Structures are given as C-alpha cells and as structure tokens.
Chains A and B, each alone.
Chain A
C-alpha cells in the first residue's frame, strides 16, 4: 500500500485518483438516468390504455422516500465517523444504511407486486414499461449499493478504514448519495407530477 499512499501525494491536482474517477463516473451516470427519465416523461404523457399514474401508491412511496433520505443521512454519518476514526460509530451507521437500503428495496418489491395486481405490468402500456425500467434501474443501483455496503461493512472489521484511509468509505457514500439524488428527482417526476 505504501506505493500508493506515496502516489497519492504526487498527483498533479492533489486529489485522490479514485475520488476524481468516481465523480467522473457519476457525471456519466447523470446522462444515463436522464435518458431513462426523459423517456418516461415523453411516454407517460402519450395517450394510452390501461392503468397509469392513478394506480401508484403515493403514501407508501412517500414513506419509502423518507427511508431512503434517512439512509443517506446515516451514510454521511458513517463517512464522518470514518474520518474521525470512530470505528464503532462507522460500523453502526453503515449497518443502519444497509438496513434502510434493504427496507427500501423490500418496499419497492412489495409495491411492484401490488401494481401488477392492479394490472400495471412491464407490457401493459407505455406507462408500465417506462415506469418499471426507470424505477427498476434505480432499484438495481440501490441493490448494487447494498452489496457494496456489505463489502465495506465486512472489511471495516479489520483496521482497514480510518482517517488515513477514508476514501473507500467516502466513495461508497458518494455512490449512495447519488442514488438517493436520483430518487429525489424520481419521486416527484414519477409519482407526483402528471405529465
């Protein structure tokens, strides 16, 4: 590792490679999600048969939104604890984030089942296909984030992360907040606004 800690001090911009690279990746993800969002906006406004916006369970999703927002809070507290070198707090908040993230996914699966009972499926109409692909890709990102969090959590039992090595947790946080950020837009765009 010494080679790389040394390398970090020699970067041209004084920034960590991984962090710079990750921000660049997130910039690319913006266009990815925007392509999905814009398709949803264009298509859900088109005339179509079958269930659309009205079958969405807004109270349930509102609750889920709070859960995801709170998981972002616990994530940032985990990053903060890492920087302070407080291992116990870091693990606690990582675990809280994992649990809330899993809860979010659980509720989303439940929501999908309910919606399918209402007749909104992937193939029912334009609203169905755009809805499931948009929220589904967000859900896939959350799921990936949970798995990543689990790895970070397991690795945190060793003396891996701390003020000297906070970047892996920091980047994990950036990912998690980005996924939350996407949801910040998805919730009003998909659930609240009738296009």
Chain B
C-alpha cells in the first residue's frame, strides 16, 4: 500500500531547463520551415516523400520533448507513460489501418 515510488519523490526535485527545451522546440520548428522552403527544396532537390518524412520526424521529436519534459513523463510515474502510450497505440492503429484502407 501507499508505496511512494522513487519517481514520485523525485518529481518535485526534477527541474529540467525549461527554457533550453523551449529553444530546442523553436529550433525544430525553424527546421520544419526550412526544409519546406523553396530555397531548401531547390538547393538540395529533396523528394516530396523525404521532406514529408523529415517533417513528421521533427514533429515526433518535438512531441517527445513536450511529453517528456513539459508534461514530466520522463520524471513521473511509469504508469502515466503506460496509460498515454496505450492511447497513442490505438490512435496509430486507427491511422495506419485507415491509410491502408482508403
């Protein structure tokens, strides 16, 4: 019972550098805009598919920073991560099958 896990106590102790993460998020957004800019596309002659892949990769990167640090999943109980991951799992199941079906 009332087993206070280590994560629970460290939660209040963890102070990641939120400003730094804010800057990282901004940089990733700038990168998103860069790879879609005319200049970038003409200079590096990226295929549409690769650009889209990069964009989604940047978005996933940003999401991981937001979830891990701003939402504290990295420092909080693993159970929260499990709960949220189940949601993501079903969302991905929905999206992949729908893309295949349509």
Task: Give the B-binding residues of A (Cβ under 8 A).
Answer: 9-15, 19-20, 23-24, 26-31, 33-35, 37-38, 41-42, 58, 62, 65-66, 69-70, 72-73, 75-77, 80, 83, 163, 173-174, 177-178, 180-181, 184-185, 187-189, 192-194
Contacts and interface: CB of A to CB of B under 8 A. Distances in A.
A30 B67 CA distance: 13
A130 to B, nearest CB: 13
B71 A14 contact: no
B87 A69 contact: no
Contacts of B8: 14-15
Given A14-B5, A26-B84, A69 B63 contact: no
A129 to B, nearest CB: 16
A150 to B, nearest CB: 21
Contacts of B70: 72-73, 75-76, 173, 177, 180
Given A13-B3, A188-B56, 12 more contacts: A14-B3, A15-B8, A27-B87, A30-B90, A31-B91, A42-B99, A174-B71, A177-B66, A177-B67, A177-B71, A181-B71, A185-B63
B95 interface: yes
A188 B20 CA distance: 22
10 contacts: A20-B79, A24-B83, A27-B83, A28-B87, A38-B98, A38-B99, A69-B22, A70-B22, A73-B19, A184-B59
Interface in B49-98: 51-52, 55-56, 58-59, 62-63, 66-67, 69-71, 77, 79-80, 83-84, 86-88, 90-92, 94-95, 98
B83 A10 contact: no
Contacts of A37: 95
Nearest to A166: B12
Contact of B66 (A70, A83, A181): A181
Interface string B23-39: 00110010011001000
Given A23-B83, A80-B18, A178 B1 contact: no
B71 A188 contact: no
Nearest to A37: B95
Given A15-B77, A20-B80, A184-B63, A38 B90 contact: no
Contact of B58 (A30, A83, A188): A188
Contact of A194 (B48, B58, B63, B69): B48
A29 B62 contact: no
Nearest to B13: A83
A51 B2 CA distance: 59
| Chain A to chain B: the 6 pairs with minimum beta-carbon distance, closest first | A27-B87, A34-B91, A30-B87, A73-B22, A188-B55, A30-B91
B66 A66 contact: no
